[in-house]
Structure 1
Amino acid sequence: MTDRLITHLRHLDIAVPDYAKQREFYTNLWGLTPVVEEPGLSFLAAEGSPEQYVVRLRQAEDKRLDLIALGAEDRASVDALAQRLATAGVQLVGEPGALQTPGGGYGFRFFDVDGRTVEISCEVQVRAHRRIEEQESIPVKLSHVVINSPNPERTRAFYEQHLDFSLSDTLFHPNLGEAMYFMRCNPQHHSLAIARGPHVSLHHASFEMRGIDEYMRGTGRLLRNDIKKVWGPGRHLAGNNTFSYFLDPHGNTVEYTTELELLDEDTWHPHLYDFTQPEVSDQWGTANPMDEFVAAESFNDPDRGVFVAPPV
């Protein structure tokens, strides 16, 4: 098993112009809970997660991905990662120190090879969370984040070399080549995936539901409220997880999922899956076809936050 300094995915921070509309979507429709709020800033928790928050919303003139936050075991791990990155010439946003976000902790931020801001932290206070009940169709936790890169091979190499992520599986097209790398930092099939896209952007953020029934109830709630569905419901082959993709008010793709595969890392060997085969995209055959519409929505808008650290 790989000896990693990164332990898990913590949260995703996004900025949008219409903050009120975005907050309404993520709380009253998507099912997250506001825990700390300031003017133009909301920290939203998943009721089943010990993380202080899984999404942070910030009001800004431009839509952008503010940062992706990853957890580490302890201060020694945070310091070692900061030293490793700095030695390799990676640009740090700041040196390790006390965090000023809910739950506190110790951490630092840096720019990855594509210019998105990444935060690594430890000692963040655990939030009092609870068991999600049967038929309760709200997220248990943030499952994974998928990012677009015009050079996904380079991005994959960055996360493997500097942060010890491992490749779980790869999607490819017979004519276009490799299109998506599923990357893990623990036994979960993927906490991060890297997709080939025309520009740097957020591909989608995925939220784990309690089970199939809760996943379908959540999917139905979004459909009944006329939220634009991108793809699903269905079940992927890579990761063996269910999927229903929707657009938030600013065009970011968000996913309800459940049953993402847990791997035996000592015996796992990555697969190369041809996603032109229908069962690769959707084992059930219930989702709308993977077509140009699905792909175009997943490309999202070019990220305005490349190599620009968020102000908070």
Structure 2
Amino acid sequence: MNQPIASLRRLRSVELRTTACADSADFYTNVWGLRAVEQGDGQAWLRGTGQEHHVLQLTEADRNGLGRITFAVATPAEVDEAARRLEARNIPILAGPGPTGEISAGYGVSFVDHEGRVIQLLADALAVPALRQEEPVPVGVTHVVLNTVDIDASVAFYSDVLGMRVSDWSEHQMAFLRCNSDHHSIAFNQAEWASVNHVAYEMPTVDQFMRGIGRLRHNKILPLWGPGRHGPGDNTFSYFADPAGLVCEYTSGVAQVDEDRWLCRVWRRVPELSDTWGTAGPPSADVRSHMAGVPDAGAFDRHPELMGVAR
């Protein structure tokens, strides 16, 4: 039986391809609470208060989509071993293994999953000092929810190849996967097409979570859904749309998993479990439409020769 290609430590950053790069960079820095590391030429790199060099990369594109998801691994040697295991599994490698030459430096390998998403494993990336911040701003990215046309195949790929563990199911509609003690860093939602559903940003406390929502309200930006608290993961939620229509979430208090004691559960999809506070109500057609996004074949659009190999 094949071993996972690596031991993932945490979710580092997300790249979003966006039809409104400049406006979105302004939104995420001046309203959402991230700080610009560097901007220009249709791209922006933004950080939170944590030690990651950046947690969000925005790249100008002709349609919205997912650019890349980056996970941390411990050492360059693990990156090299991951590349060997990817080759043994006949999983397409787009870049590396080796020095990335990118703005955050580091040693990495990038590959394509079964639905065309680009995943990067990265070690030795640049760190930045953590920020002491009284204002309600995100620490960093805590999870990404992805729409998939085959939830079982997606769970199998991320479990078998990346070694992620299923924390919970929401019936057979959503699956929540972890790579550390956080309840989930990736979740899959069964859908008509593959796309990014939303990206979630961790607020350090419930107080800062609510104050962040207040700041957006002062900027005349109302939640698509929320505030509330989810059953699976036990995290608070409030969802918004950025200028390109991509969904971003403030969250806090995600459940912590004790590997020796945790039991995966299947949650019923009922309003009182999708929002245990009862403050948000069920998601509207508008929020569902935003979360559906547009069909996104990812790397398969840019490298169609990979489709038969990756699948």
Q: Distance in 1 between matches of 2:33 and 2:219?
A: 13
Which deviates more, 12-21 or 192-201? 12-21
Q: CA deviation at 1:238?
A: 0.9
* Residue in 2 that maps onto 1:301: 294
* Residue in 1 that maps onto 2:232: 238
Q: CA deviation at 1:254?
A: 0.5
* Residue in 1 that maps onto 2:81: 80
Q: Distance in 1 between matches of 2:62 and 2:266?
A: 41
For 1:151-204, what per-residue CA distance to the aligned partner results, in whole angstroms no more than 9, with x for missing partners? Answer: 0110110000011000000001xxxxx011100000110011111111110011
User: Is the 1:62–1:304 Cα contact (8 Å) retained in structure 2?
Assistant: no
Matches within 5 A, 1:124-163: 124-133=125-134, 136-163=135-162
* Residue in 2 that maps onto 1:29: 31
Q: Distance in 2 between matches of 1:222 and 1:302?
A: 29
Letter of the aligned partner of 1:64 in structure 2?
A: G
Q: CA deviation at 1:304?
A: 5.4
Q: Distance in 1 between matches of 2:90 and 2:148?
A: 20
Q: Secondary structure of 2:187's partner?
A: strand
* Residue in 2 that maps onto 1:180: 174
1:226 partnered with 2:226: no
User: Is the 2:64–2:246 Cα contact (8 Å) retained in structure 1?
Assistant: no
Q: CA deviation at 1:17?
A: 2.6
Q: Distance in 1 between matches of 2:291 and 2:254?
A: 20
Structure 1, unpaired ranges of 5+: 173-177
Q: CA deviation at 1:62?
A: 2.7
Q: Distance in 2 between matches of 1:17 and 1:145?
A: 19
Q: CA deviation at 1:103?
A: 2.8
Structure 2, unpaired ranges of 5+: 304-311
Q: Secondary structure of 2:95's partner?
A: coil
User: Is the 1:132–1:210 Cα contact (8 Å) retained in structure 2?
Assistant: no
For 1:76-132, what per-residue CA distance to the aligned partner results, in whole angstroms no more than 9, with x for missing partners? Answer: 211222221221111111230101222311001111111011111101121112233
Q: CA deviation at 1:63?
A: 2.2
Q: Distance in 2 between matches of 1:309 and 1:288?
A: 40
* Residue in 2 that maps onto 1:70: 71
Letter of the aligned partner of 2:108 in structure 1?
A: G
Q: Distance in 2 between matches of 1:245 and 1:283?
A: 16
* Residue in 2 that maps onto 1:169: 168
Return the match for 2:268 from 268, 271, 274: 274
Letter of the aligned partner of 1:12 in structure 2?
A: V
Identity of aligned residues (%): 36
Give the TM-score normalised by structure 1. 0.91
RMSD (CA atoms): 1.8
Which deviates more, 57-66 or 230-239? 57-66
